[in-house]
Structure 1
Amino acid sequence: MAQEPRIDVEINARTVESSLAPDQIERIASALGDPGVWFAAPPVREGEARRPDAVWELVADQPHRGHVATGRAHVHLAEGRTAPVRPLIFADGFNYGPSDLASMWRHFDAPYEPGVPGLLDQVLAMGIDVVLLGFDQRQTYVQANAGVAITCLRRTLQERQGDTPLVVGGVGTGGMITRYALARMESEGVDHQTDKYFSYDTPHLGAWIPLVLQQLAYLHETIQPRLDGAGQAELIRSPAAQQLLWGWVPGTGYSGPVTSSSPLRKELLEDLRRVGRFPMRPYKLGLANGGGDGRGPDLPPGTPVLDLGEGPLRLAARIQPDGGELRNVGAIGFGEPVWTSATSHVAAFDGAPGGTLDAFGRVADAMGLPIQDRFRGTCFVPSVSAIALAREPLAWQSELYADLRELPKDETFLDAFCCDTGNGPHGAVSATLAEWFVGQLAGW
């Protein structure tokens, strides 16, 4: 029987702070750098954003855990239209705070090759109307934002001219939100009139942010709390992160399991099972920013990445080791360590094939530390997760490096998928993915 993945922290005092002198705390806080929300992606400001033909303010059709989520949609009509005729709903993904739909347009419509129109312009040129769906709290519960998606679906059907079925999906968490929304509607006997569902680098089995970096975010927030806004660990502790990260830690000093540490993840998985896991009516498409050949980025397990030597201060973080017991991933100390972190039975996620996040790069920049380019980005959404490999969401890490090129059809919950030719940034638009997606829409 496989051992449960876990993390163990050793602190040479009741808390890290109590083991340090005030000047030492100040030096660590200074070394950790940027006081902003860690891992939040900045908006895209370069390029033109098409002005929407309509803006819909949206309120979830029902609350989740007492929270009524809200959002909005930007409706972009194909040329000559006064209302949607062939609507495609494209939901935004995980980040901190409200969606910036102008930024989303810039990102997905940026030219990926010279002389080639952006992806969204190509879709509009096909006579497909684009409805960009955003959320006022991207980091809240998947089920809550799924209520916003359902309201958007109903509004789209109400505004649509004719009876052409919908295409519905999203990027990252947006793909999970729309997956749940469609499945919930089916379970309640509601006709969503959707013929195609797509997920763009969505963590169907879970996403990954290095556990040691999660811990450092909490540590910085504890040592240097923000008084004027969200703390460094705000995204890590958010409901969506707890629901979608394969491994999650609740604090700097936590020791215990990492796949079952949040009840919110278990609750989401149970809710998905209750509504049928996936919607059954639509033809289900998946796009993965990672490669499908089983080869990840060059990130040898256990390699030191961040190593701050500032006089007696030592602060170190490593690439996730491959399995084993009590494998060191990070330490902080003055001479002798005052805090060390080690994982057991955790696979080498950082170097797995998948859509990447420049997690180590962002932390190094915040700390003002040099870092090799190859260490900046680590796996964020493993390819096997993005293509919805038919595995149990809490126990699939042995499949991280699977070759997906000849995968039997019954080994995925999707009907068709496309992996990129290499491992690119999460949510990036490449020629391979754009051309495949446009080709799938051409038959609609």
Structure 2
Amino acid sequence: MAQEPRIDVEVAAKGAAGSLKAEQARQVAEALGRQGVWFATPPAREGQAPRPDHVWELVGDRPHLGYTATGRANVYLAEGHAALTRPLILADGFNYGPSDLDALWRHFNASYEKGKPGFLDRLRSMGIDVVLLGFDQRHTYIQANGAVAVSCVQRVIAERQSDNPLTVGGVSMGGMVTRYALARMESDRVDHQTDKYFSFDTPHLGAWIPLVLQQLAYLHESLEQRSDGPGQAELIRSPAAQQLLWAWVENEHYSGPVTTASSLRTDFLDDLRRVGWFPMRPYKLGLANGAGDGTGLELPPGAPVFDLDADPFQLVARIQPDMGELQNVGSIRYGAPIWASATSHVPAFDGAPGGTLDSWGRIADAMGLPIDNRFRNSAFVPAVSAIALARDPFQWQSELYLDLRDLPKDETFLDAFCCDARNSAHGTISKVLAGWFLEQIAGW
């Protein structure tokens, strides 16, 4: 039986923050970089977003743990349509704060073939009405935003001037939100009138943010707390992060298992199973930004990315090692050791084939540190997660580098999937992915 992945932290007797004087703490906090929410993705600013034909304010159809989520949808009718006729709902993904639907349009309509229309414009030219679904708190519980998605589906059905079925899905966490929403509607015997579900680089089995970077975000907060807004680890501690991340830690001092560190993830997976795991009625499509041939990123396990020596302050942070016992992932010294972190039985997630996030690069920029370009990006949604490999989310780590090109049909929870030609940035449109999806839609 495989041993449970875990993390172990050693700290000075008074803790990392308590071991430093005020001036020393300030120096370390400055070395760790700027303020702001770490790992939050900035919105797309390039390009133009058209004015939507309709804007809907949405309220979840039910609360989750006493909280009722809200959101909105921008409706862009297809060419020649005066009303919703052939609707496609695309839900926004994981990030901090409210959705920016203009930025979501710019992101998904960015040109991937020179001189040709973007992805959303191509959908509209095919007679497909695009409904962009956003959430006022992208980082809240998936079930809560799932209730907003249910309200959106019901609004589309009410406004649609045809009997055409819906296409419903989303990017990143948006694919999980809509997966849960459609499955819950089926469990409740509510007709969602959807014949195609799609997920775009969605972490069906889990997502990954390097554990040492999670810890540094918490450590930064403990050394220099903010009073005028969210702290560096606000996205990491959010309900959505706890539900989505394969490995999560609650603070910089935490020692223990990392796959079961949060009850929110366990509870969400149990809830997902309760409503059917996946919606059964729609044909299920999956797109993965990761390469499908098992080729990972050039990130040697255990290699130091940050190796800052500014006597008396020293910081080391490493690419996730591959398994092993008590493998060092990071340490801080201020003359004497004040903090060190090591993982056991954690696979080499950073270099896995998958949709990438520039987590290392952003933190290096925030800290003003030089970084080798190959170390800027690491896997965020492994390809085996985006294609919903038929595995238990707590037991799938040994197959991160699996060649998916000839995967038997019963090895995925989806009906069809497409991987990118190479490992590309999480949630980005490419010619390969867009072409495959448009063919799938046109074929119905």
| TM-score, with length taken from structure 1 | 0.99
SS in 1 for 2:235: helix
**Partner residue in 2 for 1:213:** 213
**Partner residue in 2 for 1:135:** 135
d(CA) in 1 for partners of 2:13, 2:27: 19
d(CA) in 2 for partners of 1:5, 1:219: 22
SS in 2 for 1:170: strand
**Partner residue in 1 for 2:62:** 62
Correspondence 1:97 to 2:97: yes
d(CA) in 1 for partners of 2:3, 2:365: 36
Gaps of 5+ in 1: none
d(CA) in 1 for partners of 2:306, 2:138: 29
**Partner residue in 1 for 2:308:** 308
Instruction: Show CA shifts across 1:369-406 (max 9, x none).
Output: 00010000000000000000000011110010000001
Instruction: Show CA shifts across 1:40-73 (max 9, x none).
Output: 1111111110110000000000000111000000
Correspondence 1:21 to 2:21: yes
SS in 2 for 1:41: coil
- The answer to whether the Cα contact below 8 Å between 2:4 and 2:345 also exists between their aligned partners in 1 is yes
Instruction: Show CA shifts across 1:302-324 (max 9, x none).
Output: 00001111121001100000000
**Partner residue in 2 for 1:319:** 319
Q: Which amino acid aligns with 1:301?
A: P
Instruction: Show CA shifts across 1:215-244 (max 9, x none).
Output: 000000111111100000000000000000
Instruction: Show CA shifts across 1:169-219 (max 9, x none).
Output: 000000000000000000010110000000000000000000000000000
SS in 2 for 1:236: coil
**Partner residue in 2 for 1:265:** 265
d(CA) in 2 for partners of 1:287, 1:336: 48
**Kindly, what percent of the aligned residue pairs are identical?**
70
Of the structure 1 ranges 19-28 and 311-320, higher mean CA displacement relative to structure 2 is found in 19-28
Q: Which amino acid aligns with 2:101?
A: L
SS in 2 for 1:9: strand
- The answer to whether the Cα contact below 8 Å between 2:312 and 2:335 also exists between their aligned partners in 1 is yes
Q: Which amino acid aligns with 1:439?
A: E
Shift of 1:23: 2.1
d(CA) in 2 for partners of 1:114, 1:228: 44
Correspondence 1:175 to 2:175: yes
| TM-score, with length taken from structure 2 | 0.99
d(CA) in 1 for partners of 2:362, 2:226: 19
Q: Which amino acid aligns with 1:145?
A: N
**Partner residue in 2 for 1:409:** 409
Gaps of 5+ in 2: none
- The answer to whether the Cα contact below 8 Å between 2:92 and 2:132 also exists between their aligned partners in 1 is yes
Shift of 1:6: 0.2
Q: Which amino acid aligns with 2:260?
A: S
> Structure 1: which 4+ aligned runs deviate by more than 4 Å?
none
Correspondence 1:166 to 2:169: no
d(CA) in 1 for partners of 2:288, 2:80: 33
Shift of 1:83: 1.2
1:149-164 correspondence to structure 2 within 5 Å: 149-164=149-164
- The answer to whether the Cα contact below 8 Å between 2:15 and 2:338 also exists between their aligned partners in 1 is no
d(CA) in 2 for partners of 1:246, 1:324: 18
Correspondence 1:117 to 2:117: yes
Correspondence 1:37 to 2:37: yes
Shift of 1:441: 0.5
Instruction: Show CA shifts across 1:80-133 (max 9, x none).
Output: 222110000000000010000000000000101201210000000000000000
1:361-440 correspondence to structure 2 within 5 Å: 361-440=361-440
Q: Which amino acid aligns with 2:269?
A: L
**Partner residue in 1 for 2:202:** 202
**Partner residue in 1 for 2:275:** 275
SS in 1 for 2:195: strand
Instruction: Show CA shifts across 1:318-357 (max 9, x none).
Output: 0000000000000001233210000000000000000000
Shift of 1:158: 0.1
d(CA) in 1 for partners of 2:116, 2:402: 33
**Partner residue in 2 for 1:76:** 76
Shift of 1:18: 1.3
